[in-house]
Amino acid sequence: MSKLIKHSQYVPVDVLKRLEQARQHAGLAEEPAEEAVAGEVHYHDPAREEAEQARKQMLKDAQAFAEEQVRNASLEAEKIVESAKTEAEEWWRQRREQDEHLAEAVKAEAYQTGYQEGLSQAEHDMERKLAEMMQEARNVLQEAYRSRDVIIQEAEPFLVELSCSIAEKIVEKQLTVEPQFAMDLITRNLARKREQGLISLCVSPAQFAFVNAAREELALAVDSQAELQILPDSTVKDHGCVIRSSFGSIDARIDTQLAEIKKELVRVALDTEEHRNEEDHA
Q: What is the pLDDT of residue 28?
A: 45
* Residue 93 vs residues 60, 83, 103, 242: alpha-carbon distances, Å: 48, 15, 15, 118
Across the chain, mean pLDDT equals 76
Burial class (CB in 10 A: 0-12, 13-18, 19+), 255: middle
11-15, 128-132, 201-205 — which is least confidently predicted?
11-15
Pair 243, 193: CB distance under 8 Å: yes
Question: Is-contact 7 40, C-beta < 8 A?
Answer: no
Render pLDDT for 189-236 as a digit per residue (tens, 0 to 9): 888 877 888 989 999 898 899 889 988 888 888 888 888 899 999 988
Q: Does residue 193 contact residue 221 with C-beta atoms inside 8 Å?
A: no
pLDDT tier at 32, thresholds 50, 70, 90: very low
Asked if the 154-281 domain carries CATH number 3.30.2320.30, the reply is yes
pLDDT score at 2:
43
What pTM value is reported for the model? 0.39
Residue 92 pLDDT more than 60? yes
Q: Tell me what the mean pLDDT of segment 107-126 comes to.
A: 83
More confident residue, 25 or 3: 25
Segment 46-62, tens digit of pLDDT? 788 888 888 888 888 87
Higher pLDDT, 167 or 181: 181
DSSP 8-state code for residue 213: T
Q: What is the pLDDT averaged over residues 134-147?
A: 84
Q: Is the pLDDT of residue 11 over 60?
A: no
CA distances from 137 to 130, 143, 150, 151 (A): 10, 10, 20, 20
Higher pLDDT, 178 or 223: 223
- Portion of the chain with pLDDT greater than 70, in percent: 71
Domain boundaries, the chain: 13-72, 154-281
- pLDDT, greater one: 149 or 146: 146
Structure confidence at residue 232 (pLDDT): 93
